[in-house]
Amino acid sequence: MNKIGPAKIDAKQLSQHILDHISRSLGIPVTEATAKDYWEALNLTVRDLGLDGIRETRQKEQDEKARRLYYFSLEFLIGRLLGNNLHNLGIYEKAEQALRELGVELTDVLEQEYDPALGNGGLGRLAACFMDSLTTLDKPAIGYGINYRFGLFRQSFQNGRQIEKPDSWREDYNSWGKCRTKRKQLVRLYGEVKNVNGRAAWENTQNLEGLPWDLPITGYHTDTVNTLRLWESRPAGSFDLDRFDKGDYAISRKIEVLANNISKVLYPNDEHPEGKELRLIQQYFFVACSLADVIDRHHRENEEGWDNFAKKVAIQLNDTHPAIAVPELMRVLMDENDFGFLNALELCRKVFAYTNHTLLPEALERWPQSLIGRVLPRHLQIIHLINDYFLNTEVEQQWPGDNTMKRRLSIVEEPNDYSSQPMIRMAYLSVVGSHKVNGVAALHSKLVQSNLFPEFNTLWPEKIINVTNGVTPRRWLAYCNPKLAGLIDDTIGNGWRKDLDKLDSLHVYADDPKFQKKFAAIKRENKEVLATIIEKECGFKVSADAIFDVQAKRLHEYKRQQLSLLHIMALYRRLLANPETDIPQRVFIFCAKAAPGYTLAKVIIHAINKLAERVNNDPRINDKLKVVFLPNYRVSLAEKVIPAADVSEQISTAGFEASGTGNMKLALNGALTIGTLDGANVEIAEEVGDDNIFIFGLTVDEVARLRHKGYNPRDVYNANEELRNILDWLGSGDLCPEDAHAFKPLVHALLDHGDYFLTLADFAAYSAAHDQIIETWKDPQLWWKKAIINCASMGKFSSDRSIKDYCQMIWNM
Ligand code: 26Q
């Protein structure tokens, strides 16, 4: 297509491009084009604009020679792209007009797009928000990840139980990304390390290749276009092997099968990540391709070669999933480029930084040493080199002769009660190989310093820092809630899209009855839209007059969906006991996928669904209470649920939720939070003020004290009659007569296995907080005032602010 920048393109030209793509790219007569075909044609048009933008951005960057950020992440939960891209490029209305002239509605066309589920949840979505912000702030950045053939499973329910189906999102998708065959990379696995003239040579490897797929990342009202480069694995074709040692080039059947499988499926975030060989290979595959690509590009763009590598390259490791990048860069430097060990380590420590997203000890990645030794023999050697230097020089200097400290800090964990073989601690490898380590909310970072890595924090007091997460206001307000965005534009102008602190000036309208009325009316319209979706998905009606209480996040015991379950059971019983009580109608809306192997999480889903069935069909409670479990939570569903929420449930056990980002999106859209002092809730409370949030439950310190004292859930059970009745009911089989034992594991976890997440301990406080919500709801002026204050106070939680923090404190950009 002829190059015309998005700013100058008009509706006529757009429709011409669409028609061209229908006949030439899709090869069908326009008369036969379906909505899906129009989507594809418009998407190709926008992709062309984006690819032009990438080229121009690269040229500009080369002229300016700035440092570039490379975001290494196994997940990018990007959501649907077309509508967002049209908005960013400022051609949404033009596209609307162009399609209308062709007799098609843009909104229908946008609904045709498959929502790619290339991530599990928060960590993956954060990566996507960060790409949006980097681009909007004109920061040179490339995101690197995997082009999975199957994203996170599709969820449905059968008799209330979760069913998983493969998410084959790329099938009949012609315009997804642009394959850059020229930039393919060779990846080696297995083999052995030989000493050739005093140099390590990794030989007899099994080889495959990585093909890059590029996706243009547009920013809001800027010409900058960044790249998301996702790798697909395939058997090695004809490759120029001169660059490599003469590895055995015969492609065995086994490596061919492996090569076809590496990028096949996204791993779900399991309760206990098992050391699966394919997952390790996946991690190495994408790291090896990405690093080689970074290095190739650097040498293309810089005559100085390695001399200014660290000045030009910043790599962010999104959790430990890409941690193998540390020994991989060491290997390239030492074995392929004549670097000595110390110089190589020094360079790594200038380039890498690591973000930690979890405090759950069992969620920290550890790989059996024997597995790494077999798959990546040279990397295991290098890990040992790093560890030896770290322990014998750096730790020794700080704690001379202290072997306990060396054992505690070792990257290699010796066999112990939990594992019979040495394990490689990927988090320690990441800390040792990086110049900065960050947590994702103030409280979390403090706990990373004091509980997770206290010795590292003593050794390197400047290394562990905080960068509080954020969300992009373009997708999570402007795009998903156009009516509220419009009201805000009309009231304070549209500058908030690029500077979310501007929302602050909405505070003066919090008490304004006219503004409140408009704000409330928009919320109601959004609730009507969601009610229609609920009816379609679940087959029953809910009233938009009810309080929409939303808990949307992955299912995990620490997030405590089971606490809501118990509370709703209590509400239902109270209603049955007093059917005439004058309380507002409530709809509890759950969205959550459980990892397929996480049995108890699935029991909780099953129990919520069975309770919903009972409550929703009981005429005695006069529709006062409804329970909805929307299947298959994903970005495009979040875009409908979040604008419609009145109440945001953020009720994790204090000290377990690193940050949360749904909490930010919901408050930004005017929901009031009921939450514990955990993760970013603490900072949300600081911003909105204690009067405008419903905080309840044990704090981190109280949790520690209670555990220390000895917590016995039976004591709570015995002391609280209502709770006793509920748990007995849950265990009785009454909610699930066809399988009376179905919920026993949950009751056991709560009563007999110590209630590790302190659900019962927080039950009464949670219930009391809900009572306050009810009281507030009864006073609409008060409610809408608080809702407006919530929205107005979210400036801090823009991912633009997060990215500026990273640029300043970590990336030096
Ligand atoms: C690990 C090994 C094997 C297979 C899968 C995994 C795996 C995959 C995904 C482990 C963890 C994840 C995802 C974690 C995650 O989403 N964490 C969330 O990150 C958000 C962004 O920082 C925080 O807001 C949340 O608090 C945190 O739970």
Contact 235, 251 (CB under 8 A): yes
Please give the model's pTM, rounded to 2 decimal places.
0.96
What is the C-alpha R_g of the chain? Answer: 27
Atom of ligand 1 nearest to the CA of 355: 22
Kindly report the CA angle at 661 between 164 and 553, in degrees rounded to 5?
Answer: 25
Residue owning the nearest CA to atom 9 of ligand 1: 269
CA distance 189 to 192: 9
| pLDDT < 50 stretches in the chain | 1-2, 240, 242-243, 245-246
Residue owning the nearest CA to atom 14 of ligand 1: 123
Contact 770, 646 (CB under 8 A): no
Contact 802, 475 (CB under 8 A): no
Q: How far is CA 409 from the centre of its chain?
A: 29
**Residues paired with residue 424 on neighbouring β-strands, in sequence order:** 367, 412
For 558, which DSSP code? G
Q: Ligand 1 pocket test: which of 358, 452, 558, 799 has the largest number of ligand atoms within 8 Å of its C-beta? A: 358
| Ligand 1 geometric centre to CA of 756 (Å) | 20
Q: What are phi and psi of 691, to 5 degrees?
A: -75, -15
Residue owning the nearest CA to atom 10 of ligand 1: 269
- Tokens (6 digits) for 330: 């060491």
Q: What are phi and psi of 576, to 5 degrees?
A: -65, -35
> What would the pLDDT profile of 441-486 be if each residue is shown by its tens digit?
999 999 999 999 999 999 999 999 999 999 999 999 999 999 999 9
Q: 225-235 and 141-146 as β-strands: parallel, antiparallel, unpaired?
A: parallel
Residue owning the nearest CA to atom 6 of ligand 1: 269
> Could you list the active site residues?
357, 553-554, 559, 661, 665
Q: Ligand 1 pocket test: which of 269, 276, 802 has the largest number of ligand atoms within 8 Å of its C-beta? A: 269
Atom of ligand 1 nearest to the CA of 658: 26
CA distance 765 to 787: 22
Using a 10 angstrom Cβ sphere, with 0-12 exposed, 13-18 middle and 19 or more buried, the burial of residue 36 is middle
Residue type, 234: R
Closest CA to 74 of 345, 278, 258, 310: 278
Contact 441, 679 (CB under 8 A): yes
| Ligand 1 geometric centre to CA of 365 (Å) | 11
CA distance 425 to 271: 17
CA distance 545 to 796: 31
Residue owning the nearest CA to atom 7 of ligand 1: 269
Q: Ligand 1 pocket test: which of 357, 440, 683 has the largest number of ligand atoms within 8 Å of its C-beta? A: 357
Residue owning the nearest CA to atom 12 of ligand 1: 269
The pLDDT of residue 243 is: 45
CA distance 574 to 568: 10
| Ligand 1 geometric centre to CA of 477 (Å) | 24
Q: What are phi and psi of 123, to 5 degrees?
A: -65, -40
CA distance 453 to 444: 12
CA distance 466 to 779: 39
CA distance 235 to 252: 10
CA distance 41 to 456: 53
Contact 689, 450 (CB under 8 A): no
Using DSSP's 3-state secondary structure scheme, residue 547 falls into: strand
| Ligand 1 geometric centre to CA of 770 (Å) | 29
Give the number of residues written for the chain: 813
| Ligand 1 geometric centre to CA of 429 (Å) | 18
The pLDDT of residue 99 is: 96
Ligand 1: residues whose CB is within 6 Å? 120-123, 126, 267, 269-270, 273, 279, 357-358, 365, 440, 469, 657-661, 679
CA distance 416 to 413: 8
CA distance 565 to 573: 12
The pLDDT of residue 50 is: 87
Residue owning the nearest CA to atom 11 of ligand 1: 269
CA distance 630 to 167: 17
Listed in sequence order, the residues at least 6 apart from 508 whose beta carbon sits closer than 8 Å to its beta carbon are: none
> What would the pLDDT profile of 382-420 be if each residue is shown by its tens digit?
999 999 999 999 999 999 999 999 999 999 999 998 889
The pLDDT of residue 273 is: 63
Closest CA to 331 of 287, 391, 370: 287
Atom of ligand 1 nearest to the CA of 440: 22
CA distance 552 to 555: 9
| Ligand 1 geometric centre to CA of 74 (Å) | 10
Query: Residue for token digits 């070669």?
Result: 305
CA distance 491 to 509: 9
Closest CA to 629 of 615, 619, 639, 643: 615
Kindly report the CA angle at 111 between 529 and 552, in degrees rounded to 5?
Answer: 55
| Ligand 1 geometric centre to CA of 208 (Å) | 28
Atom of ligand 1 nearest to the CA of 121: 16
Q: 647-650 and 547-552 as β-strands: parallel, antiparallel, unpaired?
A: parallel
Using a 10 angstrom Cβ sphere, with 0-12 exposed, 13-18 middle and 19 or more buried, the burial of residue 523 is buried
